[in-house]
Structure 1
Amino acid sequence: MTCKKYEIEINTLKNFYEIYCKGKHDYAEHKKYNLEYKDEKFTLDLNICKECQENIEYSFDRLQTCPHEIKPRCRTCPSPCYDKPQWKHTAKVMKYSGVRLGLIQAKQKIKNLFS
Protein backbone atom coordinates (compact mmCIF):
# COMPACT_ATOMS: atom_id res chain seq x y z
CA MET A 1 0.00 0.00 0.00
CA THR A 2 1.25 3.48 -0.71
CA CYS A 3 2.08 5.94 2.06
CA LYS A 4 -0.78 8.17 0.88
CA LYS A 5 -3.25 5.27 1.20
CA TYR A 6 -1.83 4.47 4.65
CA GLU A 7 -2.35 8.08 5.72
CA ILE A 8 -5.96 8.01 4.48
CA GLU A 9 -6.58 4.75 6.38
CA ILE A 10 -5.16 5.99 9.70
CA ASN A 11 -7.09 9.25 9.43
CA THR A 12 -10.29 7.32 8.71
CA LEU A 13 -9.70 5.17 11.81
CA LYS A 14 -8.99 8.32 13.85
CA ASN A 15 -12.23 10.02 12.75
CA PHE A 16 -14.37 6.94 13.24
CA TYR A 17 -12.98 6.10 16.69
CA GLU A 18 -13.32 9.68 17.92
CA ILE A 19 -16.97 9.82 16.84
CA TYR A 20 -17.67 6.40 18.36
CA CYS A 21 -15.93 7.17 21.65
CA LYS A 22 -17.60 10.57 22.00
CA GLY A 23 -21.02 8.98 21.47
CA LYS A 24 -20.54 5.83 23.56
CA HIS A 25 -18.10 6.59 26.38
CA ASP A 26 -17.98 9.14 29.16
CA TYR A 27 -14.31 9.99 29.35
CA ALA A 28 -11.77 10.72 26.66
CA GLU A 29 -8.16 11.67 27.08
CA HIS A 30 -5.72 13.22 24.67
CA LYS A 31 -3.18 10.86 23.18
CA LYS A 32 -0.56 11.52 20.54
CA TYR A 33 0.47 8.72 18.19
CA ASN A 34 3.67 8.72 16.19
CA LEU A 35 3.43 6.08 13.49
CA GLU A 36 5.92 5.07 10.85
CA TYR A 37 5.19 3.36 7.57
CA LYS A 38 7.76 2.73 4.83
CA ASP A 39 10.18 5.23 6.36
CA GLU A 40 7.55 7.97 6.49
CA LYS A 41 6.38 9.39 9.81
CA PHE A 42 2.79 10.24 10.68
CA THR A 43 1.47 12.02 13.78
CA LEU A 44 -2.11 11.73 15.02
CA ASP A 45 -3.74 13.52 17.95
CA LEU A 46 -6.70 11.60 19.31
CA ASN A 47 -9.22 12.25 22.05
CA ILE A 48 -10.50 8.80 23.03
CA CYS A 49 -10.83 6.63 26.14
CA LYS A 50 -8.42 3.85 27.16
CA GLU A 51 -10.62 1.09 25.72
CA CYS A 52 -10.80 2.82 22.35
CA GLN A 53 -7.04 3.49 22.49
CA GLU A 54 -6.40 -0.24 22.83
CA ASN A 55 -8.72 -0.99 19.92
CA ILE A 56 -7.30 1.64 17.59
CA GLU A 57 -3.74 0.56 18.42
CA TYR A 58 -4.69 -2.97 17.38
CA SER A 59 -6.09 -1.57 14.13
CA PHE A 60 -2.92 0.46 13.52
CA ASP A 61 -0.83 -2.69 14.04
CA ARG A 62 -2.95 -4.65 11.58
CA LEU A 63 -2.81 -1.85 9.03
CA GLN A 64 0.97 -1.67 9.22
CA THR A 65 1.27 -5.39 8.56
CA CYS A 66 -1.27 -5.54 5.71
CA PRO A 67 0.39 -7.71 3.05
CA HIS A 68 -1.60 -6.29 0.11
CA GLU A 69 -0.06 -3.75 -2.23
CA ILE A 70 -3.55 -2.57 -3.16
CA LYS A 71 -5.41 -2.76 0.14
CA PRO A 72 -8.89 -4.28 -0.14
CA ARG A 73 -11.69 -3.45 2.24
CA CYS A 74 -11.21 -5.58 5.33
CA ARG A 75 -14.63 -7.21 4.99
CA THR A 76 -13.76 -8.47 1.50
CA CYS A 77 -10.13 -9.38 2.22
CA PRO A 78 -9.13 -12.87 1.07
CA SER A 79 -6.68 -13.19 3.99
CA PRO A 80 -8.07 -11.28 6.99
CA CYS A 81 -5.53 -10.25 9.61
CA TYR A 82 -8.00 -9.21 12.33
CA ASP A 83 -9.05 -11.68 15.01
CA LYS A 84 -12.79 -12.29 14.69
CA PRO A 85 -13.84 -10.46 17.92
CA GLN A 86 -11.66 -7.45 17.06
CA TRP A 87 -13.00 -7.36 13.53
CA LYS A 88 -16.59 -7.42 14.80
CA HIS A 89 -15.86 -4.56 17.21
CA THR A 90 -14.14 -2.47 14.55
CA ALA A 91 -17.04 -3.11 12.16
CA LYS A 92 -19.42 -1.88 14.90
CA VAL A 93 -17.33 1.28 15.32
CA MET A 94 -17.32 1.88 11.55
CA LYS A 95 -21.06 1.35 11.23
CA TYR A 96 -21.91 3.64 14.17
CA SER A 97 -19.55 6.39 13.02
CA GLY A 98 -20.38 6.06 9.33
CA VAL A 99 -24.07 6.68 9.99
CA ARG A 100 -23.25 9.76 12.05
CA LEU A 101 -20.82 11.10 9.46
CA GLY A 102 -23.50 10.70 6.80
CA LEU A 103 -26.00 12.58 8.97
CA ILE A 104 -23.48 15.36 9.64
CA GLN A 105 -22.79 15.74 5.91
CA ALA A 106 -26.51 15.78 5.08
CA LYS A 107 -27.14 18.36 7.81
CA GLN A 108 -24.34 20.57 6.43
CA LYS A 109 -25.76 20.37 2.89
CA ILE A 110 -29.20 21.38 4.15
CA LYS A 111 -27.70 24.32 6.08
CA ASN A 112 -25.84 25.42 2.97
CA LEU A 113 -29.09 25.41 0.97
CA PHE A 114 -30.72 27.84 3.38
CA SER A 115 -27.80 30.16 3.98
Structure 2
Amino acid sequence: MTTEKFKGEVETLKKFFQIYCSEKHTGQYEKTYDIKYKDLDLSIKANLCDECHSLLDYAIHRLQECPHDPKPRCRKCPNPCYEKDKYKQMAKMMRFAGMKLGLTKAAQRLKKMFKKS
Protein backbone atom coordinates (compact mmCIF):
# COMPACT_ATOMS: atom_id res chain seq x y z
CA MET A 1 0.00 0.00 0.00
CA THR A 2 1.32 3.45 -0.84
CA THR A 3 2.02 5.91 1.95
CA GLU A 4 -0.71 8.23 0.63
CA LYS A 5 -3.25 5.38 0.69
CA PHE A 6 -2.12 4.46 4.21
CA LYS A 7 -2.50 8.06 5.39
CA GLY A 8 -6.00 8.20 3.88
CA GLU A 9 -6.98 4.93 5.57
CA VAL A 10 -5.78 6.20 8.97
CA GLU A 11 -7.65 9.51 8.56
CA THR A 12 -10.82 7.62 7.61
CA LEU A 13 -10.49 5.38 10.68
CA LYS A 14 -10.04 8.44 12.88
CA LYS A 15 -13.18 10.12 11.46
CA PHE A 16 -15.28 7.00 11.91
CA PHE A 17 -14.07 6.44 15.48
CA GLN A 18 -14.68 10.05 16.50
CA ILE A 19 -18.22 10.03 15.12
CA TYR A 20 -19.05 6.72 16.80
CA CYS A 21 -17.44 7.52 20.15
CA SER A 22 -18.93 11.01 20.46
CA GLU A 23 -22.44 9.57 19.94
CA LYS A 24 -22.15 6.37 21.97
CA HIS A 25 -19.62 6.88 24.80
CA THR A 26 -18.54 9.35 27.48
CA GLY A 27 -15.17 10.11 29.06
CA GLN A 28 -13.33 11.09 25.90
CA TYR A 29 -9.81 12.49 26.09
CA GLU A 30 -7.28 13.45 23.46
CA LYS A 31 -4.43 11.11 22.64
CA THR A 32 -1.69 11.51 20.04
CA TYR A 33 -0.74 8.57 17.85
CA ASP A 34 2.76 8.61 16.35
CA ILE A 35 2.62 6.16 13.47
CA LYS A 36 5.44 4.90 11.28
CA TYR A 37 4.72 3.27 7.93
CA LYS A 38 7.50 2.69 5.42
CA ASP A 39 9.11 6.15 5.09
CA LEU A 40 6.09 8.02 6.49
CA ASP A 41 6.00 9.47 10.00
CA LEU A 42 2.42 10.37 10.81
CA SER A 43 1.04 12.00 13.94
CA ILE A 44 -2.71 12.14 14.53
CA LYS A 45 -4.78 13.26 17.50
CA ALA A 46 -8.02 11.55 18.41
CA ASN A 47 -10.53 12.47 21.10
CA LEU A 48 -11.96 9.11 22.22
CA CYS A 49 -12.83 7.02 25.29
CA ASP A 50 -10.53 4.24 26.57
CA GLU A 51 -12.40 1.49 24.71
CA CYS A 52 -12.28 3.34 21.38
CA HIS A 53 -8.63 4.34 21.84
CA SER A 54 -7.80 0.68 22.38
CA LEU A 55 -9.72 -0.42 19.27
CA LEU A 56 -8.25 2.38 17.12
CA ASP A 57 -4.76 1.39 18.24
CA TYR A 58 -5.52 -2.22 17.27
CA ALA A 59 -6.94 -1.16 13.87
CA ILE A 60 -3.90 1.01 13.08
CA HIS A 61 -1.57 -1.85 14.00
CA ARG A 62 -3.52 -4.24 11.74
CA LEU A 63 -3.33 -1.68 8.93
CA GLN A 64 0.44 -1.33 9.37
CA GLU A 65 0.88 -5.10 9.21
CA CYS A 66 -1.40 -5.73 6.21
CA PRO A 67 0.62 -7.88 3.77
CA HIS A 68 -1.66 -7.30 0.77
CA ASP A 69 -0.83 -4.91 -2.05
CA PRO A 70 -3.22 -3.58 -3.13
CA LYS A 71 -5.05 -3.75 0.20
CA PRO A 72 -8.52 -5.30 -0.14
CA ARG A 73 -11.43 -4.30 2.05
CA CYS A 74 -11.14 -6.25 5.28
CA ARG A 75 -14.59 -7.76 4.68
CA LYS A 76 -13.35 -9.31 1.41
CA CYS A 77 -9.85 -10.26 2.58
CA PRO A 78 -8.84 -13.88 1.83
CA ASN A 79 -6.76 -14.04 5.06
CA PRO A 80 -8.47 -11.89 7.71
CA CYS A 81 -6.10 -10.69 10.42
CA TYR A 82 -8.68 -9.24 12.82
CA GLU A 83 -9.68 -11.31 15.84
CA LYS A 84 -13.35 -12.25 15.54
CA ASP A 85 -14.56 -10.07 18.45
CA LYS A 86 -12.53 -7.07 17.25
CA TYR A 87 -13.89 -7.55 13.73
CA LYS A 88 -17.46 -7.48 15.06
CA GLN A 89 -16.74 -4.32 17.08
CA MET A 90 -15.23 -2.64 14.01
CA ALA A 91 -18.15 -3.67 11.79
CA LYS A 92 -20.66 -2.26 14.30
CA MET A 93 -18.73 1.01 14.58
CA MET A 94 -18.27 1.36 10.80
CA ARG A 95 -21.98 0.74 10.13
CA PHE A 96 -23.06 3.38 12.63
CA ALA A 97 -20.46 6.01 11.72
CA GLY A 98 -20.85 5.36 8.00
CA MET A 99 -24.54 6.16 8.19
CA LYS A 100 -23.87 9.32 10.22
CA LEU A 101 -21.11 10.43 7.85
CA GLY A 102 -23.28 9.74 4.81
CA LEU A 103 -26.18 11.69 6.26
CA THR A 104 -23.89 14.58 7.17
CA LYS A 105 -22.49 14.76 3.65
CA ALA A 106 -25.98 14.56 2.14
CA ALA A 107 -27.14 17.41 4.37
CA GLN A 108 -24.12 19.48 3.34
CA ARG A 109 -24.92 18.91 -0.34
CA LEU A 110 -28.55 19.96 0.21
CA LYS A 111 -27.49 23.14 2.01
CA LYS A 112 -25.12 23.94 -0.83
CA MET A 113 -27.91 23.45 -3.39
CA PHE A 114 -30.26 25.82 -1.58
CA LYS A 115 -27.58 28.47 -1.06
CA LYS A 116 -27.01 28.64 -4.82
CA SER A 117 -30.69 29.42 -5.46
Q: Which TM-score bucket, shorter chain as reference?
A: over 0.9
Cα shift at 1:107: 0.7
SS, match of residue 44 in structure 1: strand
TM-score, normalization: structure 2? 0.96
| Paired AA for residue 55 in structure 2 | N
Cα shift at 1:32: 0.7
Match of 2:21 in 1: 21
- CA offset digits 1:34-93 (Å, max 9, x no partner): 100002100101110111000000001101100001000000000000001100100111
TM-score, normalization: structure 1? 0.97
Q: Runs of 4 or more off by more than 6 Å in structure 1?
A: none
Match of 1:48 in 2: 48
Match of 2:81 in 1: 81
Percent identity (aligned): 45
Matched, 1:102 2:92: no
Match of 1:3 in 2: 3
Match of 1:67 in 2: 67
Count of aligned residue pairs for this structure pair: 115
CA distance in 2, matches of 1:110, 1:3: 34
| Paired AA for residue 98 in structure 2 | G
CA distance in 1, matches of 2:47, 2:59: 16
Cα shift at 1:26: 1.5
Gaps of 5+ in 2: none
Gaps of 5+ in 1: none
Q: CA RMSD for the aligned pairs?
A: 0.7
